Amino acid sequence: MSGKQPIALVVSDIDNTISDKFNAWGAALDAALDKLAKLHNRDRKDLERDLLAHVPESMKHISGPLIGKDLRMDVASTPSLKPSSPETEKAQEKIFHEWDKDRSQVSLYGGVLATINKIKSSGAKFVLYTDSRESVCIPRLAKMGITADMIDGLYVQPDLKDGQIVRKPVKGVANDLRTALGGKLVVLPPKTNKPNPKNMQRILDDMSIKDPKTAVMVGDNIRADGTGAIAVGMNFAWQKQGTVINDATLRCYETFCQDPNYKLTAAEHLEQMNDSNRPTVVLNGFADLNKFYRFSAQPSKTAALTALLNKARSRS
Question: pLDDT tens digit string along 94-140?
Answer: 999 999 999 988 899 999 999 999 999 999 999 999 999 999 999 99
Same domain, yes or no: 97 and 213: no
Report the pLDDT averaged over residues 284-304: 86
pLDDT reading at 305 higher than 90: no
User: Are residues 98 and 165 located together in one domain of the fold?
Assistant: no
| Residue 183, domain member (yes or no) | yes
Residues 157 and 287 placed together within one structural domain of the fold:
yes
pLDDT tens for residues 189-215? 999 999 999 999 999 999 999 999 999
163 and 219 assigned to the same domain: yes
**Same-domain pairing of 277 and 129:** yes
What pLDDT is recorded for position 56?
A: 87
315 is a domain residue: no
pLDDT confidence band for 18 (50 / 70 / 90): very high
Instruction: Enter the DSSP assignment of 246.
Output: -
Q: Does some domain include residue 312?
A: no
Residues 122 and 206 in one domain: yes
Last residue of a domain, one of 69, 103, 137: 103
* End position of a domain, from candidates 45, 73, 103: 103
DSSP track, 2-60? --SEEESEEEE--BTTTB-HHHHHHHHHHHHHHHHHHHTT--HHHHHHHHHHT--GGGT
CATH number at residue 164: 3.40.50.1000
Please give the share of the chain, as a percent, with pLDDT higher than 90: 84
Residue 76 and residue 54: Cα distance in Å, rounded? Answer: 10
290 occurs within a structural domain: yes
Q: What is the pLDDT of residues 45-73, one digit of tens each?
A: 999 999 999 998 877 777 789 999 899 99
Is 296 within a domain? yes
Residues sharing a CB contact under 8 Å with residue 150, sequence separation 6 or more, in sequence order: 116, 117, 120, 126
Per-residue pLDDT, 263: 82
In a domain, 310, yes or no: no
> What single-letter amino acid sits at 54?
H
- Together in a domain, 37 and 11: no
pLDDT value at residue 110: 96
Give the count of domains, the chain.
2
Claim to verify: residue 227 and residue 260 sit in the same structural domain: yes
Q: Where are the beta strands (DSSP E) in the chain?
A: 5-7, 9-12, 125-133, 153-157, 159-161, 164-166, 185-187, 215-219, 235-239, 281-283, 293-295
Same domain, 13 and 146: yes
Q: Does residue 313 fall inside a structural domain?
A: no
Q: What would the pLDDT profile of 133-173 be if each residue is shown by its tens digit?
A: 999 999 999 999 999 999 999 999 999 988 899 999 999 99
Verify that 163 and 211 share a domain, yes or no: yes
pTM, two decimals, is 0.87
Judge if 52 and 125 occupy the same domain.
no
pLDDT of residue 260: 78
Residue 137 lies in a domain: yes
Q: What is the pLDDT of residue 258?
A: 77
Given this model, what pLDDT does residue 105 score?
Answer: 85
For 232-255, write each residue's pLDDT tens digit. Answer: 999 999 999 999 999 999 999 999
Q: Name the residue range of residue 42's domain.
A: 23-103
Listed residues 81, 103, 125: the one ending a domain: 103
Do 151 and 296 share a structural domain? Answer: yes
